[in-house]
A and B are shown apart, each in its own frame.
Chain A
Amino acid sequence: MRRWPLAAPYLAGSALLVLVPLGLAAALAFTDYFGFRAPEFTGADNLTRLAADGTFWDAVGISAFVAAVVVPLRLLLAVGAALLLARRRGARTAVGRAAAYLPSVIPDAAWALLWLWILNPLYGPLPALLGVLGVPDPGFLTTPWGARLGLVLVMTFQVGEAFVVALAARLAIPARLHEAIEVEGGSPWFAMTRVTLPLMAPIVLVLAVRDMVVVVQNAFVPTLLVTDGGPANATLTAPLLIYRRAFEYGELGYASTLSVTLLVLTGIAAALPLWLAARLAAHQRART
Chain B
Amino acid sequence: MSVVVEGARKEFRARRGARVMALDGVDLEAKPGELLVIVGPSGSGKSTLLRVIAGLEPLDAGRVLIDDRDVTGVPAGRRDVALVFQEAALFPHLGVAANIGIGERARGTRRRDVESRVREVARVLDIEPLLTRMPTELSGGERQRVALARAMIRSPRVCLLDEPLASVDTELRLRMRGEIRAVQRSLGVPMVHVTHDQVEAMAMGDRVAVMAQGRVLQCDIPAEVYARPATTAVARTFGPLPMNLLPAVDGVVTGVRPERVRVNRSGAGRAGTVAAVEPAGEECLVRVDDVLARVPMADAPHPGEQVVVTWRPEDEHHFDAETGARR
A interface residue numbers (CB < 8 A to B): 174, 176-177, 179-187, 190, 194-195, 198-199, 201, 281, 284-288
Contact: B56 with A183, CB < 8 Å?
Answer: yes
* 7 A-B pairs with least C-beta separation: A186-B106, A185-B77, A184-B103, A176-B89, A183-B83, A184-B106, A198-B93
CA distance A176 to B118 in the complex (A): 22
Q: Is B92's CB within 8 Å of the partner chain A?
A: yes
Contacts of B118 in A (CB 8 A): 288
Contacts of B81 in A (CB 8 A): 183
Contact: B76 with A194, CB < 8 Å?
Answer: no
Q: Is B209's CB within 8 Å of the partner chain A?
A: no
CA distance A195 to B98 in the complex (A): 12
Q: Is B154's CB within 8 Å of the partner chain A?
A: yes
- A174-B89, A288-B98 are known contacts. Are A182 and B56 too (CB-CB below 8 A)? yes
- A183-B54, A183-B55, A184-B77 are known contacts. Are A284 and B93 too (CB-CB below 8 A)? yes
The segment from B61-69, B107-115, B173-181, B192-200 found at the interface with A is B107-115
Nearest chain B CB to A276's CB is how many angstroms away?
16
Nearest chain A CB to B144's CB is how many angstroms away?
14
Q: Is B182's CB within 8 Å of the partner chain A?
A: no
Q: State which of A183, A184, A199, A286 has its C-beta within 8 Å of the C-beta of B95.
A: A286
Proximity bits, B133-148, A CB within 8 Å = 1, else 0: 0100000000000000
Contact: A287 with B82, CB < 8 Å?
Answer: no
CA distance A258 to B160 in the complex (A): 65
CA distance A184 to B100 in the complex (A): 11
Contact: B103 with A177, CB < 8 Å?
Answer: no
Contacts of B86 in A (CB 8 A): 176
Nearest chain A CB to B108's CB is how many angstroms away?
9
Contact: B106 with A288, CB < 8 Å?
Answer: no
Nearest chain A residue, comparing its CB with the CB of B77: A185
Q: State which of B83, B93, B95 has its C-beta within 8 Å of the C-beta of A180.
A: B83
**A177-B91, A184-B77 given. 16 additional CB < 8 A pairs?**
A176-B85, A176-B86, A176-B87, A180-B83, A180-B89, A180-B91, A182-B55, A183-B55, A183-B81, A186-B103, A186-B106, A199-B91, A281-B93, A285-B95, A286-B95, A288-B105
Pairs A–B under 8 Å by Cβ, sample size 7: A179-B76, A180-B102, A183-B54, A183-B81, A185-B76, A186-B77, A190-B105
Contacts of B85 in A (CB 8 A): 176, 179-180
Nearest chain B residue, comparing its CB with the CB of A179: B56
Q: Is B101's CB within 8 Å of the partner chain A?
A: yes
Contacts of B13 in A (CB 8 A): none
Nearest chain A residue, comparing its CB with the CB of B97: A288
- A176-B85, A288-B114 are known contacts. Are A183 and B97 too (CB-CB below 8 A)? no
CA distance A284 to B105 in the complex (A): 14
CA distance A182 to B79 in the complex (A): 11
- A284-B94, A288-B114, A288-B115 are known contacts. Are A185 and B89 too (CB-CB below 8 A)? no
CA distance A157 to B18 in the complex (A): 41
- Counting chain A CB atoms within 10 Å of each CB, which of B79, B92, B118 scores highest? B92
Nearest chain B residue, comparing its CB with the CB of A176: B89
Q: Is B327's CB within 8 Å of the partner chain A?
A: no
Contact: A183 with B134, CB < 8 Å?
Answer: no
Nearest chain B CB to A49's CB is how many angstroms away?
49
Q: State which of A176, A187, A194, A284 has its C-beta within 8 Å of the C-beta of B102.
A: A194
CA distance A206 to B77 in the complex (A): 34
Contacts of B103 in A (CB 8 A): 184-186
CA distance A174 to B55 in the complex (A): 18
Contact: A199 with B93, CB < 8 Å?
Answer: yes
Contact: B93 with A182, CB < 8 Å?
Answer: no
Contacts of B78 in A (CB 8 A): 185
Contacts of A284 in B (CB 8 A): 93-94
CA distance A284 to B102 in the complex (A): 13
Contact: A288 with B89, CB < 8 Å?
Answer: no
- Counting chain B CB atoms within 10 Å of each CB, which of A179, A180, A187 scores highest? A180
Contact: B106 with A185, CB < 8 Å?
Answer: yes
Contact: B76 with A182, CB < 8 Å?
Answer: yes
Nearest chain A CB to B128's CB is how many angstroms away?
14
CA distance A199 to B134 in the complex (A): 14
CA distance A287 to B93 in the complex (A): 11
- Counting chain A CB atoms within 10 Å of each CB, which of B75, B77, B134 scores highest? B77
Nearest chain B residue, comparing its CB with the CB of A284: B93
Contacts of A190 in B (CB 8 A): 105-106
Contact: B94 with A183, CB < 8 Å?
Answer: no
Nearest chain B residue, comparing its CB with the CB of A199: B93
Nearest chain B CB to A269's CB is how many angstroms away?
26
Contacts of A198 in B (CB 8 A): 93
